[in-house]
Chains A and B, each alone.
Chain A
Amino acid sequence: MVLKVMSSNQAIAEAVKLAKPKVIPVYPITPQTTISEYLAKYVADGDIKAEYIRVESEHSAISACLGASGTGVRVFTATSSQGLALMHEIIFAAAGLRAPIVMADANRALSAPLSIWNDQQDSISERDSGWMQIYAENGQEALDSVLMSYKISENKEVLLPTMVCVDGFILTHTVDPVDVPEEEEVDKFLPDYNPDHAYLDPERPMSIGTFTDPDYYMEARHDMEVAMEKAKTVISDVSQEFAETFGRKYDFIEKYRSEDADTILIAMGSICSTIKDVIDELREEGEKVGLVRVRVFRPFPVEEIYDAIKGASNVGVIDKNFSFSIGGVLHNNIKSMMDVNAAGFIIGLGGRDIKPSHIREVVEKTKNPSNKPLWIGLKEEQ
């Protein structure tokens, strides 16, 4: 294992290089931009043999991905925030057309007011699109997740696209050590993509993107739900195979000191690293606190989360997003699917830095929960 110091954006670009897509349509947007730059350079240097399409918008980026995927090749794109929102219509189409596209999203707040900084409102707002979503905690996981995502998405039982989400700047522009796997090993883990479900080939003509009347639409959508359910098994299998090949094991959720914890926090993405540090401190102070990090958000791992938290007296769910009048989306997903009394917290919107003191505040307020979701780190009114 050779560790190299790099940003998550570079780690993602390295993963793409290893996955060998044939077409890369991409439109730059902060903080995804360096992904598009690394990939352009790799293509320019011949390190990736792919058509790099300098599209005029994110809308065309995902559209070109879909066209290319329709011919039966592996594709990649990446975006962020406004770009993802601009893709919205085609995000749904990509899932409905069952295109195994893998896309990285550099999580960033949505306008207005305009912000380039991190929260997870952009990808969370696409939760009902039929895409699988993985939230990475660090650059290593971002790289590994891109590789696993192709294998999961391209599985015949699944055939749904995957979004690998990385916190903007906090991960995308932070360098730390990452292990980049060997090409031969990746080739064995992730062979060429050879689809038989959809292709644009004059030798065997078919029509993709048809028009369905009320006799068919509902079944087509239900089939996607069935595939999303099947994806759970596939994700487990792929994670297992990945662990055997590369020695790093990922699951739907990660449990950190939660087994005997009285108070458990639940969160997604890079904030979990800071939470782990705070948990270590609190444990030393004699508090039984733990973390459940939700890594795979779609398909939603209901059983895994419930099993991990059912023994705790206090559960606090931290969201970097919210749904008006209701609170954090992860919080609400958990409350709607399991019989737990969980407190909800909104944190770090628009790049508000999340300090250990904020996490301690969440722990305190989880022990004395309020009925309403609480906004942590909000400035007092002047």
Chain B
Amino acid sequence: MVAIGAAVKEPGSTRKNKTGSWRTFKPILDKETCIDCENCVMFCPEGCIDKNYDIDYDYCKGCGICAEECPVKAIKMERE
């Protein structure tokens, strides 16, 4: 049974889809080096880095934008 008009009543339900499995490289953030500039939070296409700079690996696709945009190189991309 498909919902009427194939509407989806559960907001944000793509969370069921763990895109972390798409990843080849994994960002590792060194909180000691981090200067709290929010660049990585802002630029993450998945929105999966929170204000405490914890990365949600369930969804991180490993694009590497965060590492690229970190002004102090606090994020390293490591092979899964």
Contact = CB atoms under 8 A, between A and B. Distances in A.
A206 B11 contact: yes
B10 to A, nearest CB: 8
Contact of B5 (A204, A205, A208, A219): A208
B9 interface: yes
B37 interface: no
Contact of A98 (B1, B4, B8, B11): B4
Contacts of A204: 9
Interface of B is mostly: loop
A159 B8 CA distance: 17
A209 B3 CA distance: 11
Contacts of A98: 4-5
B2 A207 contact: no
Interface string A205-217: 1111110100010
B35 interface: no
Contacts, number: 43
Nearest to A206: B9
B9 to A, nearest CB: 5
Interface residues of B, number: 9
Contacts of B2: 212, 216, 219-220, 223
Contacts of A208: 5, 7
Contacts of A220: 2, 5-6
A206 B7 CA distance: 7
B75 to A, nearest CB: 33
Interface in B1-28: 1-2, 4-9, 11
A198 interface: yes
Given A219-B1, A223-B1, A212 B11 contact: no
Contacts of B7: 97, 197-198, 206-208, 210
Interface in A182-209: 197-198, 204-209
A216 B4 contact: no
Contacts of A219: 1-2
Interface in A89-106: 96-99
B6 A210 contact: yes
Contacts of B9: 204, 206
A96 B8 CA distance: 14
A219 B5 CA distance: 11
A144 to B, nearest CB: 28
Nearest to A98: B5
A5 B11 CA distance: 52
B5 A212 contact: no
Contacts of A216: 2, 6
B5 A197 contact: yes
A220 to B, nearest CB: 4
Which 9 A-B residue pairings sit nearest by Cβ, starting from the closest?
Answer: A98-B5, A220-B2, A207-B8, A97-B5, A205-B11, A197-B4, A219-B2, A206-B9, A208-B7
24 contacts: A98-B4, A99-B5, A159-B5, A197-B4, A197-B5, A197-B7, A198-B4, A198-B5, A198-B7, A204-B9, A206-B8, A206-B9, A206-B11, A207-B8, A208-B5, A208-B7, A209-B5, A209-B6, A210-B8, A216-B2, A216-B6, A219-B1, A220-B5, A223-B2
Interface of A: 96-99, 159, 197-198, 204-210, 212, 216, 219-220, 223
Given A207-B7, A220-B5, 18 more contacts: A97-B5, A97-B7, A159-B5, A197-B4, A197-B7, A198-B4, A198-B5, A198-B7, A205-B11, A206-B8, A207-B8, A207-B11, A208-B7, A209-B6, A210-B7, A216-B6, A220-B6, A223-B1
